[in-house]
Structure 1
Amino acid sequence: MNQDIIALEFELRRLADIIKNEGRQELVAYNISDVQFMAVQWIKETDAMTIGALSRHLNLAISSTSELVDQLVQKEFAVRRKDDDDKRKVNIHLTERGQQLIDDVIIKRQRYLQSLVKASEYSVKDYYKHTHALYKETEEGERIESGDRSN
């Protein structure tokens, strides 16, 4: 494998991890764990999610996921609601507080990224141009470029 590709993959992976961890510092203010935050992110992605679906995304047992959701409900990041079409089914929904948590984490990440760009010799447009060129070559990027925003 080309050494430049090896280095590029490593640095992109590390940079993504560093930016993610910078945002996760915000979790302390909300008294929420990394796994709870991952659950909040999945709930936001789907708008309404069952315990079973969430447990599959988190690779947790259903009992552990149910306990995790209890904690999210207690901390007011999520609510449980019966499904309108099937009253036996219970969906988990994000609350305003859950959305605020995600917004705060994203803003912290964006500010950190902005500080990195500001300290470099390149502009945001320079970085965006090159990362977007890579992103649009992925299946997800191609789908979004074509106007399909579904998951």
Structure 2
Amino acid sequence: MKLARETLSDADYEALANLRYTLRRFMDFSTSAAQEEGLPSQQHQALLAIRGYRGEEPMTIGVLAEKLLIAPHSTSELVHRLVLAGYVTRRSDPADKRRQTLELTDRADDLLRRLSAIHLTEVRDMAPRLIELLSDLQKDR
């Protein structure tokens, strides 16, 4: 971890505050969009993590827990709710019968496609401001 500078400028604090505000606005947008589709935010995050995963290992509870930064037992409960809702299926991993792989259902794919389209539009709208904020934070003041 890089050591923090001894003195921070008012501009540093302003840039950090603006970045946090912009990220929180996006997260609020994301939560609202998922809720409008009847999906809790954490379930949306899980579906996106499963769909976007391109790792060497198959998607499992452990991998999903790592991607969501939550405990494996919490991830198991989350996946259980997703299975009950018809968004995820579990299959025994042919390479290791002790673990189960996770896959999205067609229902989840349809829902995620709608949510991801509006999220990409929002990100593209916010991109210039985010780039500006990140550039401000890169400047050595």
TM-score, with normalisation over the residues of structure 1?
Answer: 0.63
Partner of 2:39: 32
RCO higher in structure (CA 8 A, sep ≥6):
2
Q: Could you tell me how far apart the structure 1 residues matched to 2:51 and 2:122 are?
A: 23
How many residue pairs were aligned?
Answer: 124
Does residue 62 of structure 2 align to residue 55 of structure 1?
no
- Deviation (angstroms), 1:80: 0.7
Distance 1:104 1:23, change over 3 A: farther
- Deviation (angstroms), 1:6: 1.8
Q: Root-mean-square deviation (CA), in Å?
A: 3.1
Greater share of residues in strand = 2
Partner of 2:115: 105
Distance 1:102 1:10, change over 3 A: farther
Distance 1:60 1:100, change over 3 A: same
**Structure 1: 5+ residue runs without aligned partners?**
118-123, 139-151
* SS of equivalent residue, structure 2 residue 97: coil
**Structure 2: 5+ residue runs without aligned partners?**
1-7
* SS of equivalent residue, structure 1 residue 107: helix
TM-score, with normalisation over the residues of structure 2?
Answer: 0.66
Does residue 27 of structure 2 align to residue 20 of structure 1?
yes
Would the aligned equivalents of 2:86 and 2:108 in 1 still touch at CA under 8 Å? Answer: yes
- Deviation (angstroms), 1:113: 5.4
How many percent of aligned residue pairs carry the same amino acid? 24
Paired residue type of 1:91: T
